[in-house]
Amino acid sequence: MSEAKLAITTHNLSCRYGEFTALHPLNLDIPKGEIFGFLGHNGAGKTTTIRLLTTLLEPSSGEAIVAGCDARRNVVQLRRQIGYLPENVRLYDALSTRENLRFFASLSQIDDARERVEEVMDFLQIRDLADRRLGTFSKGMRQRVGLAQAIVHRPSILFLDEPTSGLDPMGVRMLREVIERLNADGMTIFMNTHLLSEVARSCSSIGVLSHGQLVFHDRIEAVSARYGDEAALEELYLSVVPGREDAA
């Protein structure tokens, strides 16, 4: 597949901390418009991968092209093309939802910042939180505002690191619906998760990382045709992960 059709491509991308290898050479192609589910045990290297792809971490070797930008050479341009929602959202507790979003919109130099903030709050159905300070919010409420911050500048690729962590079933369902709506509008989604249920319901392709190595990558329809339902998908995951003790 040509790079013009790819949202993300990596060539021998790796990360080491001294003698420890957090991510072995990774070769991964994700077409535009995918909802890609990145599975792996705690410490498999999923967050390390996202940090490399979002320019938050310098690779030890290899390269990554994200949204057409080299993650080493075109950092500023790449950051304008992506959104990122970490597992633990970092926002300003003393500011309201609207104030937080306007601040981050201004950092992205959005021309219609005020209008865009109102539009995103409507899209995510958080207008009732607009004038409330973040310091009073539950984790689920913070996740929704964090997601608004991640998409306020209209990124072409959205990175989500364990987005359902700490959410109740209603919150998980709401997040799934938002992800599907964003994807329907053309946004590529890269989602780190350990929830097979969300992969089975939302993702168009999956990858499995084990101890820093990519051990499986395929389209979800191929997985479903071969392995069947979610229980079988669990068997697939357990079969390709040689051990589940923590790694990195």
Query: Given this model, what pLDDT does residue 194 score?
Result: 76
Total-model pTM: 0.91
* Cβ atoms of residues 180 and 204 within 8 Å: no
pLDDT at residue 245 above 60?
Answer: no
* Average pLDDT rounded to a whole number, residues 222-230: 69
pLDDT at residue 68 above 50?
Answer: yes
* Cβ atoms of residues 177 and 101 within 8 Å: no
Can you give the three-state secondary structure of 96-144, one letter per residue? EHHHHHHHHHHHCCCCCHHHHHHHHHHHCCCHHHCCCEHHHCCHHHHHH
Q: How much of the chain, in percent, has pLDDT values that exceed 90?
A: 67
Query: Given this model, what pLDDT does residue 230 score?
Result: 60
- Render pLDDT for 193-217 as a digit per residue (tens, 0 to 9): 877 777 878 899 999 999 999 999 9
Q: pLDDT-derived band of residue 246, with 50, 70 and 90 as boundaries?
A: very low
Q: What is the mean pLDDT of the chain?
A: 89
* Average pLDDT rounded to a whole number, residues 150-155: 96
3-class secondary structure, 182 = helix
* Average pLDDT rounded to a whole number, residues 207-233: 81
- Render pLDDT for 14-65 as a digit per residue (tens, 0 to 9): 999 999 999 999 999 999 999 999 998 888 999 999 999 999 999 999 999 9
DSSP 86: -
